[in-house]
Amino acid sequence: MQGYWNAPERTKDAIDRAGWMHAGDLGTMDSDGYIVITGRSSDMVIRGGENIYPREIEEFLYSHPTVADVHVFGVPDT
């Protein structure tokens, strides 16, 4: 990727000097070398000093047989 269309600041933040793109995707790699995208670092919620990723909570809730759909998001503490 050369950059974001008409967004030089986003490009500067995403692509380092060596040309590596840091998209903010989070994932795990299994023992066979397959990568599973589990979320985005920008989706992280910090609560009580702990990092919480909404996707992890959603995946847990999806495992319940009566849950058809779910969306987890953070709400600012005011």
What residue spans define the domains of the chain? 8-62
Residue 50: which region, alpha, beta or left (left: phi > 0; alpha: psi -120 to 50)?
Answer: beta
pLDDT in tens, 24-72: 888 899 999 999 888 787 788 888 888 888 888 999 999 999 999 999 8
Q: Which residues contact 57 (CB under 8 A, 6 or more apart)?
A: 72
pLDDT, residue 74, reads: 83
| pTM of the predicted structure, to 2 decimals | 0.53
